[in-house]
Structure 1
Amino acid sequence: MSLLSSLLDHMPPTIANTSTDNPRRPAPRPSLALFTHAERRPWFVTEPHASAATATPEWRMARDAYLNHIMACRSCYAPAARYCCVGAGLRASYDRTPMETQP
């Protein structure tokens, strides 16, 4: 026995009411919501988005060259924007290359 059991001995047990027709509880009122389907905005973005899968081959080549360099170079530290001469050139080339084709 636990210490709490002696404290709860004087309380009657609680029994959940399982009947659905409780005369003391009124029937639930219907709630009204005013909206039209024309006013709802779409949940999903339908316009095309830019990603590496849809990027131009030139952008992917510039990105890969930049990332391969900064992963191997001990002088380059991208979070602080600190690059060696080659890394700075690759970063500038990566920034200049458009990700999407221009119409």
Structure 2
Amino acid sequence: MSLLSGLLDHMPPAIASTDTPKMDSRPRPRMVLASPVESTPRLITSPHASAATATPEWRQARDHYLNHIMVCRSCYAPTGRHCTAGARVRASYDNTPLEAHQ
């Protein structure tokens, strides 16, 4: 005897019914907005700085810094603790401009 059959012994048997359950003929209420909202498409005209728009030098400095702190057991970025090489790489990352000045 399995554990499942022991649990099912205490359940009443399912009786197959030929009747289909009665469906309520009233329509269900639907949620609608009280007043339609008109929105105009907003275009972003001012560029924002991100890694996608960053200079190649900044991306290289970021990648070099991240590659270092991921393997260095002495560096712990959340508290700002870095080994000598990590501090040098972090300073290079901080001093590299994200955007090219026009």
Q: Which residue of 2 aligns with 1:99?
A: 98
In 2, distance between residues paired with 1:51 and 1:102?
15
Which stretches in structure 2 are left out of the alignment for 5+ residues?
Answer: 1-38
In 2, distance between residues paired with 1:78 and 1:50?
22
Output the amino acid matched with 1:46.
I
How does the TM-score come out when normalised to structure 2?
0.58
Shift of residue 98 of structure 1? 0.4
In 1, distance between residues paired with 2:85 and 2:101?
28
Q: Which residue of 1 aligns with 2:84?
A: 85
Q: Which residue of 1 aligns with 2:36?
A: none
1:4-57 Cα deviation digits (max 9, x unpaired): xxxxxxxxxxxxxxxxxxxxxxxxxxxxxxxxx9xx8x4xx6131111111100
Q: Map of 1:34-53 to 2, 5 A cutoff?
A: 42=42, 46-47=44-45, 48-53=47-52
Q: Map of 1:1-103 to 2, 5 A cutoff?
A: 42=42, 46-47=44-45, 48-103=47-102
3-state SS of 1:98 partner: coil
How does the TM-score come out when normalised to structure 1?
0.57
Output the amino acid matched with 2:91.
A
In 2, distance between residues paired with 1:94 and 1:71?
15
> What's the Cα RMSD here?
3.5
Runs ≥4 in structure 1, deviation > 3 angstroms?
Answer: none
3-state SS of 1:102 partner: coil
In 1, distance between residues paired with 2:79 and 2:51?
24
